[in-house]
Amino acid sequence: MVSLLKLALIGGAAALAPQRTPSAKVSAEPARREFIQGTAATAAGAAALAGLPAASSAAPLAIKNWERVSLPVSTTLFDIAFDTDTHGYLVGAKGTFLETVDGGKNWKPRTFANLDEEEEVGYRFEKVSFQDGEGWVVGKPPILLHTVDAGKSWERIPLSPKLPGEPTGVVALGKSKAEMTTSTGAIYSTTNAGRNWKAQVKETIDATLNRVSSSGVSGASYFTGSVATIQREKDGTYLAVSSRGNFYLTWSPGQDFWLPHNRGTPRRIQAMGFVEGDSSKGVWMTLNGGQMALGGKSAVDDAEPTFNVINLNSGGYGILDAAWRDSKEAWAVGGGNTMYVSKDGGKNFKFDDSADKIPGNLYAIKFFGPNTGFALGSDGVLMKFNA
């Protein structure tokens, strides 16, 4: 029977200290172009005076696909979200909560008025989501924050002690609507800004695995009761990886329970997601040892899906996340701040050296349209895509 979680709102809107000073937008392109042209002209003149033949036009300077954004923190970054094309938030470890008002070129720290400094530093903010001025943040120790004014003020939403597992994700779905997931695979929805939550999955993953373990789902008997990651695509379909990485699960709106799937390889799953964020286009999967594979729609529907290993030479570095810029161009990131790009929809990847000289790991990559992308990592590393 569908259960209701009664979460009574407690008072105290958490006002953020206003630090939203837009940075001036100054283009460096004309100055750089004039400098290059002036340098070329000077070189040509010197060659003529020396009686030497003029050099042919210089090859265009190589511009990296990604550039590092300077941040006022050196903590691990976990998630990023935008409310408009220019206004967004970045969250991470040790209370990291940054705001941009210029599309991600500059970021400034924000604080919650109802959390003292020592308390806030103790939080690990893991997910942030915005839609139409309404936003949500979830973190550990368990905390859920909500804003209805694009982040000017925040309210802490109390979480029921009966909540199965810890909150691991939240997705803003419009006015007063959101979905929240937990570490046990529970999915809850609210239509009244978190006052009440309704369970969407009627059967726990444990119960499902006990019922279907005889069907041959590899690793089901080793399930520890939690999932490592949960991803949501735009139509509400979810994808979860077991904490051991030995199988994965999918759930679609209207289903009573998660559908477990074999991974089809002896290697453990490291990360998974939907191709182009769309379950109808299949699933990508990264494996221990730096391998990556693609599965079609059957990877969502069938318990025994077929995955094809793709051409990606990672040198053994783990691939931790992937994202599609459009139907043809895809990017993958991982350990050692490695980046890889595909120009054929994810069938083949090649190394990109944009972050090659930066120490650390890249944990997540996101695109907000074809011209806006960010890669997040350890040590305060934020890479911004150059369109």
8 pLDDT above the threshold of 70: no
pLDDT at 343: 97
Provide CATH code, domain 71-200. 2.120.10.30
d(CA 294, CA 164): 32
Which residues lie closer than 8 Å to 143 by C-beta, 6 or more apart? 123, 125, 137, 156, 159, 167
- Give pLDDT tens digits for 348-364: 999 999 999 999 999 99
Give the confidence band of 213 by pLDDT, cuts at 50, 70, 90: low
DSSP 357: T
The secondary structure of 3-30 as a DSSP string is -EEE----S-EEEBPP---PPP----HH
165 backbone φψ class: left, alpha, beta (φ>0; ψ -120 to 50): left
Give the confidence band of 209 by pLDDT, cuts at 50, 70, 90: confident
Q: How is the chain split into domains, by residue range?
A: 71-200
- Give pLDDT tens digits for 271-321: 999 999 999 999 999 999 999 999 999 999 998 899 999 999 998 899 999
6 pLDDT above the threshold of 80: no
- Global pTM? 0.82
Q: In what order do the strands lie in the sheet with 167-172?
A: 4-6, 196-199, 187-190, 178-182, 167-172
Which residues lie closer than 8 Å to 107 by C-beta, 6 or more apart? 69, 71, 72, 90, 98, 99, 100, 382
221 by DSSP, 3-state: which?
Answer: helix
16 pLDDT above the threshold of 50: no
